[in-house]
Structure 1
Amino acid sequence: MQLYDYYQTLGVKLSTSANEIKRSYRRLARMYHPDISKLANCENVYKEITEAYAGLKNNYRNSTFRHWQVSAERLKYEQQNTFQKQ
């Protein structure tokens, strides 16, 4: 499944926050959980919802980590350049 499909599966927009994604996942998981739902294909839908949430959660964590990593590298570079100019 593509990343965009994950957002579509959970019924959220690309700009949705992590908390809103989690809220949507929990709502859908309760609705389609195989132990609760009487729908014929609820197990497959539940698996898709769970996969989508896991993918978005991991992507959010990775992007946050990359943001801090890039920020640290940028700060290190700027500090080196400052010392070289003096």
Structure 2
Amino acid sequence: MYKLDAYIGRTVAAAVIMVLLVIVGIDLLTTLIDELEDLEGDYTFGRVVQYVLLTTPSSLFEYLPFAALVGCLAGLGSLAGTSE
């Protein structure tokens, strides 16, 4: 029974991580594009990248519940789709 629980856990965790990376990646990309409009003076591209990287942990924390929901549905759905 332990092997089955570990298999389900790995499948769901992988789906959650994949969904979280996609959502946060899209959010970081849109933030980067949005901040590029404000470039002037001392606010250079390096500062924009630094700002985006420093806001990444809050984005991860913000999107984790949604990613867990969608990841669990995707992971369990993939297991059900292959009759596992």
TM-score (norm 1): 0.44
Larger helix proportion, structure 1 or 2?
A: 2
Larger radius of gyration: 1
